[in-house]
């Protein structure tokens, strides 16, 4: 069954087609085009998608969504972004009444939780689950994720992010979730929003799109818990919390699993369950509670969802673990290079400290969009670094200077560099067999290059 026919795209967008065709996928990055895809020629400030149509067809596109005359199979519209949004609305509208749509946002853990939910729903729906890919969670990524959603989808998980107030409100009205989940609130984007309360309010916009009778799920232990609950109750009577002793979902027992991760017994709304989490770190206890609560509210098989958590592996840039051979032995690399804020930095440093290793090494990049609080929040990582007994900290970016100063009188050796290339050189020079190495930063620093350098033996 095709994803879209030309006639369906015309009906959704109001465009005109050059001919008849079916497409089995949608992409606006020509590098992601596969045979049978529709290429969405999005305008941009630096590049215009129309300039990449030839490349998209070379990669297998069968049609393009365009706003100018082209010599390939196409649907022409007045406004390509508006047409993509219209296609997204049509994809959401054609889902069956039995399908469940989950919206996920938060300052920390939203992509990892989204992936865990995808894995859980894959098991509980017989493979008919759909989710945002990568971190396609903004004003273009969410419509694209919806437009890619197969018509037979039984469970969809859509991630929503923001840099400014009002952005999630627009996204959630497209997604129209039955369940809206907020993973955590932290001072990410505080430079743009001004306060942690404003961040909570911006994340709480997700509740504005809830379908009638929908469910809101929020973190119990967040300092913004009451603010989130109050916002949710304006849209629904069904508000659940996870975490802590008082949450509707809470951990009764947790212990380290033999192969890493945790063995857990948890109380969920209406049931108690024992399961294993493959991913290490205390933050995954919270993620797991959120996932299983969501699956339960979706009337899915919670036991099957628990099995999915037992089989999850880390994502590239978001917890992937790599055992790398070097001269004289091996090192462990924990790749957290995609995102960073104070809360996630502290959580992953603690996780690193729990890893058995001859030496703990942390490659930490600057945390962005922290505004006036930036120096204080960077310096504040000295405590988590000390608690994790980090032997060597390679700090990347000028924003890390306050942390370098804070660590100067501690046992931690500090190397402070300007960019990813210098960080890679410093790490390759200092690396030793038996090291456990955490690489974590905001994605703009491109510290994934450091992971690739070490994993590739310095290539």
Residue ranges of the annotated binding site are: 106-112
Sign of CA pseudo-dihedral 261, 427, 402, 383: positive
Give the helix ranges, DSSP H, for 234-317.
283-297, 302-311
Instruction: Tally the residues of the chain.
Output: 459
Where on the phi/psi map is residue 206: left (φ > 0), alpha (ψ -120 to 50), or beta?
Answer: alpha
Spatial neighbors of 5 by CB under 8 A, at least 6 apart, are 20, 21, 22
Please work out, in degrees rounded to the nearest 5, the angle formed at the alpha carbon of residue 44 by the alpha carbons of 41 and 47: 80
Q: Say what the alpha-carbon torsion angle 130, 147, 145, 67 is, to the nearest 10 degrees.
A: 160
Annotated binding site for ATP: 106-112
d(CA 247, CA 267): 9
d(CA 158, CA 172): 9
Cβ atoms 76, 50 nearer than 8 A: no
Query: In 3-state terms, what secondary structure has residue 372?
Result: helix
The Cβ of residue 203 has, within 10 Å, a number of other Cβ atoms equal to: 27
Tell me the two tokens of residue 162: 């923001």
């Amino acid at each position: 069954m095709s994803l879209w026919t030309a006639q369906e795209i015309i009906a959704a967008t109001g465009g005109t087609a050059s001919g008849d065709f079916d497409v089995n996928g949608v992409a606006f990055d020509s590098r992601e085009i596969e045979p049978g895809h529709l290429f969405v020629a999005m305008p941009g400030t630096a590049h215009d998608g129309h300039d990449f149509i030839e490349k998209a067809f070379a990669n297998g596109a069968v049609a393009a969504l365009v706003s100018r005359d082209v010599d390939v199979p196409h649907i022409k519209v007045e406004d390509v972004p508006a047409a993509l949004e219209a296609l997204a609305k049509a994809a959401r509208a054609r889902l069956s009444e039995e399908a469940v749509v989950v919206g996920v946002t938060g300052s920390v853990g939203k992509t990892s939780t989204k992936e865990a939910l995808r894995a859980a729903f894959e098991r509980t729906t017989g493979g008919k689950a759909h989710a945002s890919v990568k971190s396609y969670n903004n004003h273009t990524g969410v419509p694209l994720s919806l437009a890619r959603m197969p018509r037979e989808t039984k469970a969809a998980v859509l991630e929503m992010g923001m840099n400014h107030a009002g952005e999630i409100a627009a996204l959630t009205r497209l997604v129209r979730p039955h369940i809206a989940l907020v993973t955590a609130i932290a001072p990410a984007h505080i430079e743009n929003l001004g306060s942690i309360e404003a961040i909570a309010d911006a994340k709480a916009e997700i509740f504005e799109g809830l379908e009638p009778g929908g469910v809101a799920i929020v973190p119990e232990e967040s300092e913004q818990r009451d603010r989130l609950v109050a916002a949710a109750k304006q849209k629904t009577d069904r508000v659940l919390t996870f975490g802590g002793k008082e949450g509707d979902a809470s951990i009764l027992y947790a212990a380290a699993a033999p192969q890493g991760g945790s063995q857990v017994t948890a109380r969920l709304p209406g049931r108690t369950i024992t399961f294993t989490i493959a991913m290490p770190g205390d933050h995954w206890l919270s993620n797991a509670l959120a996932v299983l609560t969501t699956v339960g509210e979706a009337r899915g098989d919670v036991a099957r969802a628990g099995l999915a958590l037992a089989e999850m592996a880390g994502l590239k840039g978001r917890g992937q673990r790599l055992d790398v051979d070097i001269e004289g032995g091996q090192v462990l690399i924990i790749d957290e290079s995609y995102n960073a804020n104070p809360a996630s930095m502290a959580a992953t440093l603690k996780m690193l400290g729990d890893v058995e290793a001859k030496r703990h090494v942390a490659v930490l990049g600057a945390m962005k969009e922290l505004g006036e609080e930036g120096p204080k929040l960077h310096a504040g990582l000295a405590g988590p670094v000390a608690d994790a007994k980090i032997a060597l900290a390679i700090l990347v970016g000028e924003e890390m200077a306050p942390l370098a100063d804070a660590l100067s009188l501690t046992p931690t050796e500090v190397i402070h560099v300007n960019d990813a290339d210098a960080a890679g050189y410093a790490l390759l020079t200092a690396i030793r067999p038996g090291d456990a190495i955490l690489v974590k930063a905001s994605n703009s620093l491109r510290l994934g290059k450091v992971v690739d350098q070490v994993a590739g033996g310095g290539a």
